[in-house]
Structure 1
């Protein structure tokens, strides 16, 4: 670990949903593309590291950040109506949930299953966010990225974004020296509700509306997920594992584990179920703990350090692997003193699909 630098003096506690009390050398809010270019130029000239945050909702700072944290507040929404669909261009500093509410109130239906997912539009593309039978890639048409070396903007077509489960090209090839400026999505006018299995006892044929689905999802999420304004967390800490059918069948023969077939023939299983059924007994490291109502979520009860959260996550990872032979892969981004750190450098990750 690097020693804490004395020049890291601006607190990030209110700018990351885990509410980890770490500092940055400097925090700058960017409201325009020009701001973003000028800040990156300044950092490049002075050889200062920098990262871009939206809501800081999928992030764990491991220690003080020695560079500049750029808070993306580039906003704007442009809607173009066509005969059979709407085209919506959204700048990356807009909050995702605000977009869902905005379109719903305009009578543009389709995003309601993704209600109340924290974070901004930029992270929606990076993470390929998803919930209740939908993913960001189902609507995405393109993503516009800014190259910080050339200061040029390039449009990446959806077919080149390499979207997969909580992953995209923006987490990999375009993770360094690039920033997402805006995205384009397409919503067809013929609305077809996606009724997830857990909705069926609440939604009937007579009351299927986009507003009802939106309200139900908000209610479900508020009930089972902690509010970051009250309890520090970054949503699901681990991904739901995706394994082969053969491995799933073997697991199902031993345990009553729920699993969900994917389009590619693989099987998604519940990571929360694995943690819950390991039956950890009130485990916590300092103020780092497992959230009782949704065990994929790790929480900062009050003053947890990032080291305590990582230690807890490692214990969970090791125990689940020993019992179920399943390797839980972290979903969140780890940020060290000069930038992102691969989760494989922190956890002993093993491939699950074999």
Structure 2
């Protein structure tokens, strides 16, 4: 019996799957056969189903937060199905700040470590104590500490070695009692009064002004990763584009703003069928309806080509694209 997926991913393309299973407790998860193909889903805010998915979608809906006060920090053990923004709000309200820069990122706690969510100078990895997951092969619950999760920029072991082998069940966060604000990004530098609440409110205000509400206008948030380029590439680019926003990544590399590249290429408002580069934030693609997966692929392809021609930078999409049986990646090499 086919199940519509349109309401289960925030980009809201018309799509279906063979079966949808909602998981509310771990015993239920351990009883699944995981016959392939299968797809693990949280709130669907970073996943787009391009067409009919010929497999089982497993939606994680487990709830619960267990808080332990320790000498120097608070340990929050969070079930995978908990809403991320609600967790940020609740921990702040209970006097446990630290996550405020990550406010209003859509999705679940269980999805957060997969791509090491980050915003306004903070990545989730900073606060991870451990992640527990179901080992699909053995049906055992296993635990990885922060180092074992192999976190990188929008990356982790769950996107690489453990892809399709693990289902995250619990995310444990350590929030230090000694609060240290992170104010390195734009609007946060202008705060008159710096408190966890003022940082939280500024992040929420800024995100709301830039990013359309996916439940009002269908979108999947920031669609492309900020490219990481060599210092030499940056030096060359800055000669032609001195306003290019850039941030140190490591000694040899800088991160540059994908949204700025797309905007400067004149792509805001560019439209293919009902898919549009958002008028306020060029990093976001929106879906006005009457569109399909091919329209979205055409839009991704067009943007990648324009950015390559203009800057010799290859853009990679951050959003997970699900095809008929598996995830797919749209790259310039596909068309070389």
- Alpha-carbon distance between aligned partners in 2 of 1:194 and 1:306, rounded to the nearest angstrom: 38
Structure 1 counterpart of 2:174, from 172, 178, 186: 186
Hey, what does 1:218 align to over in structure 2? 204
Query: Any stretches of 5+ residues in structure 2 without a counterpart?
Result: none
Hey, what does 1:119 align to over in structure 2? 107
What TM-score, normalized by structure 1, do the two folds share?
0.91
Hey, what does 1:3 align to over in structure 2? none
SS at match of 1:94: coil
Q: Which moved more, 1:220-229 or 1:300-309?
A: 300-309
Instruction: Give the number of equivalent residue pairs.
Output: 333
- Alpha-carbon distance between aligned partners in 2 of 1:272 and 1:166, rounded to the nearest angstrom: 16
- Alpha-carbon distance between aligned partners in 2 of 1:279 and 1:71, rounded to the nearest angstrom: 38
Structure 1 counterpart of 2:121, from 133, 140, 149: 133
- Alpha-carbon distance between aligned partners in 1 of 2:268 and 2:261, rounded to the nearest angstrom: 14
What TM-score, normalized by structure 2, do the two folds share?
0.95
Hey, what does 2:91 align to over in structure 1? 103
Deviations 1:165-192 (A, max 9, x none): 1011100111113111111111110111
Hey, what does 1:276 align to over in structure 2? 263
Query: Any stretches of 5+ residues in structure 1 without a counterpart?
Result: 1-6
Q: Shift in Å at residue 37 of structure 1? A: 1.7
**Preserved CA contact (<8 Å) 2:218 2:286:** yes
Hey, what does 2:273 align to over in structure 1? 286
SS at match of 1:68: strand
Moved over 3 A (4+): none
Structure 2 counterpart of 1:147, from 135, 142, 146: 135
Structure 1 counterpart of 2:288, from 295, 301, 306: 301
Q: Shift in Å at residue 202 of structure 1? A: 4.3
Deviations 1:288-346 (A, max 9, x none): 010111111111012321211110110000111011000001111111122222x1xx3
**Preserved CA contact (<8 Å) 1:80 1:86:** yes
Q: Which moved more, 1:277-286 or 1:133-142?
A: 277-286
C-alpha spacing 1:201/1:166, structure 2 compared with 1 (3 Å): closer
**Preserved CA contact (<8 Å) 1:329 1:349:** no
- Alpha-carbon distance between aligned partners in 2 of 1:12 and 1:106, rounded to the nearest angstrom: 36
Hey, what does 2:248 align to over in structure 1? 261
- Alpha-carbon distance between aligned partners in 1 of 2:128 and 2:118, rounded to the nearest angstrom: 12
- Alpha-carbon distance between aligned partners in 2 of 1:308 and 1:97, rounded to the nearest angstrom: 31
Hey, what does 1:252 align to over in structure 2? 238
- Residue 334 (str. 1) matches residue 321 (str. 2): yes
**Preserved CA contact (<8 Å) 1:327 1:349:** no
Hey, what does 1:4 align to over in structure 2? none
